[in-house]
Every structure is written in structure tokens, then in C-alpha cells.
Amino acid sequence: MPSLPDTDKAPDTAKVPRQRHSAPVVSVRDVEHTYGGGRGTESVTALGPVSLEIPAGEFLVLVGPSGCGKSTLLRLIAGFERASSGEVEVFGEQPEPGSQAGIVFQQPRLFPWRTVGDNVGLALKYAGVPRAERAGRTAELLERVGLADTSGRRIWQISGGQQQRVAIARALAGGKRLLLLDEPFAALDALTRERLQEDLRTVSAETGTTSVFVTHSVDEAVFLGTRTVVLSARPGRVALDIPIGLPRTGTGPDELRGLPEYAALRAEIGTAVRDAAR
Ligand SMILES: Nc1ncnc2c1ncn2[C@@H]1O[C@H](COP(=O)(O)OP(=O)(O)O)[C@@H](O)[C@H]1O
Ligand SMILES: [Mg+2]
């Protein structure tokens, strides 16, 4: 006689591994961050508590009033700061500076006396790309950021927008699967800024690199992101966390900005940012 199923045991289905959700790229759990507070200094709680999970391929845009802790959150993810409390993990590990993420700052950090190509080539060298492959990879990266003809020019000879493109190429050169960008277009004129937004949107859709992008601009958040997180005034907390379900490819910038969903998202995020600043 076949034995009856043992009802005390977990049913067979429990042996089937749970449906695999790939682990988040960035995981921020109950994070608070306070600066100072040492002898004689006043402490400033800049951020939190904040919890956030960023899955692979997400382009998350962080928006919020000045001083609400956006850069602090980015620096915690980059490993430049350790959270006062809570946990930050990147690819399941404690972040170490320069190890898991490529970083782009508001002011491009380049070698001004070197050529565009050398700046990218050096980033490839630091990333361990063999010498023989560097020229080809440099050309590819410069093509990707729209600088194919600029390789031989020196950094001081090119415009601010072009310099920021070089900075993006350098960040991509590391081959990191995470990009952190802190207001990279804030110092650029409006037209240059729009061009870089369009190109970054395309690059991110093509490479699928997980990105965290900080900005003041609601339009930039809607245009660039697959998701927007609005932080409240200091100490920053998540005031709104909203997916941006706009097409990532095949839709031109004007067409995109003309979509009714675009206007609706702008309005909703704009309201949240204004409320957050109160
Ligand atoms: N190194 C630091 N030491 C002390 N206070 C800091 C430091 N960095 C930032 N702060 C303070 O923390 C708060 C958040 O700063 P930050 O993260 O740079 O904001 P945001 O990028 O949103 O403008 C601000 O009040 C700022 O003055
Ligand atoms: Mg900042």
C-alpha cells in the first residue's frame, strides 16, 4: 500500500525554489545620516530614515529641495560616507569608494592638460583594460557620448558640455553596472543640457546600466528616469516614489514631452517637490 502523504511535512511545492527575483543593485534600509556632533560642533541630521531598493536596470532620479540630503544619499551609496545608522548595500555588499559604481559629479573631474582620448584611456587603464584594447574601447566610448571627432583635443579646448560628456565616458569606461550622477548637467546652458539629457537617455536605454541621478529639475526627472523619488526637506525622507512608464526607445524628445502622461507626471512630481520644500 502506498504510504499516505505525511501531512506534517511541508507540501511538495515548498521544495520548488521560490520564484527568483534578482537581488536589488542598491538596497538602503532605515538609513539615517548625521554630520558633525563631535566636540564643540553642532550635529546636522541630513537624511532619513530612508529605505529604498533599486533593481537592476532602473534609472532612478532623486529630486528634492536644496540641502535635503540628495548628495548625502548618493555619497552613502558610493561608499564615500558610512551611514550613521541603518544599512546600505550595493550588489549585496557594503559599498567601497570607487569599487562598485561609476560616478559623475556636477563639475567634471578631468585632467585638463591631457587629450579627450587620454582621459578616457586612463579610465580604461585604471579599470584594468589591457593596453591593446584601449584605443578601440576609447573610440567606442567617445562615439557613444557623441564625441567621436574630439579625441585629440585637450580638455581645456572643449566646452563645458563636451567636458561633461568626457566625464560620462570615463564613468562608463570602468564597466561598472551602477552609475551615480550628482546634478551632472546643472552647470550647463539650457540647450546643451537638453542635448546631454537626450544622449544620456539613449545611452542608458542601450546599456541598461542601473543609474541614480540627482537633480533639482522636475522636467529632467520625468524625461530621464524610469522612476522618480522625491525627498522631503532636511532630513530627507521619501515623500513620493513613482514609476515613470514612458517609452524608453523609439520616441523623440519632443514627442515624449508632448505626451499627456508626461504632463501628468510633471504635475504630480512638481506638486510633491513644492510640498516637500515647505
Ligand atoms: N560634510 C558635511 N558636514 C556637515 N554638514 C554637511 C556635510 N555635507 C552636507 N552637510 C549638510 O547636510 C545637509 C544635506 O546636504 P546635501 O546632502 O549636500 O544636500 P543636497 O545634495 O540635497 O543639496 C545640508 O544641510 C548640508 O549643509
Ligand atoms: Mg547636492
Task: Tell me the Ramachandran region of residue 269: left when phi exceeds 0, alpha when psi lies from -120 to 50, beta otherwise.
Answer: alpha
pLDDT of residue 8: 47
- Distance between CA atoms of residues 37 and 76, nearest Å: 18
pLDDT at 227 over 50: yes
pLDDT digits (tens, 9 = 90+) for 30-39: 999 999 877 7
Going along the chain from its start, the domains and CATH numbers come out as 24-101+176-276 (3.40.50.300), 111-175 (no CATH)
5 CA distance to ligand 2 middle (Å): 61
Spell out a b/e string for 57-69, using b for 16 or more CB atoms within 10 Å of the CB, else e: bbbbbbbbbeebb
CB atoms within 10 A of CB 130: 9
183 CA distance to ligand 2 middle (Å): 7
44 CA distance to ligand 1 middle (Å): 8
Q: Tell me the β-bridge partners of 47.
A: 33, 236
Q: Which are the contacts of 83, defined by CB distance < 8 A and separation ≥ 6?
A: 31, 32, 33, 48, 76
CA-36 nearest atom, ligand 1: 4
Burial class (CB in 10 A: 0-12, 13-18, 19+), 187: middle
Is the CB of 44 within 6 Å of ligand 1? yes
Give the C-alpha distances (Å, rounded to integers) separating 54 from 6, 23, 31, 89, 174. 41, 9, 15, 10, 20
Q: Which are the contacts of 222, defined by CB distance < 8 A and separation ≥ 6?
A: 228, 244, 246, 262, 265, 266, 269
67 CA distance to ligand 1 middle (Å): 6
**Rg of the chain (C-alpha set):** 22
CA-68 nearest atom, ligand 1: 22
pLDDT digits (tens, 9 = 90+) for 22-55: 789 999 999 999 998 777 788 999 998 999 999 9
pLDDT digits (tens, 9 = 90+) for 147-195: 999 999 999 999 999 999 999 999 889 888 899 999 999 888 888 889 8
CB atoms within 10 A of CB 184: 26
Residue nearest to ligand 1 atom 24, measured at CA: 67
pLDDT digits (tens, 9 = 90+) for 105-158: 888 889 999 999 999 999 999 999 999 999 999 999 999 888 999 999 999 999
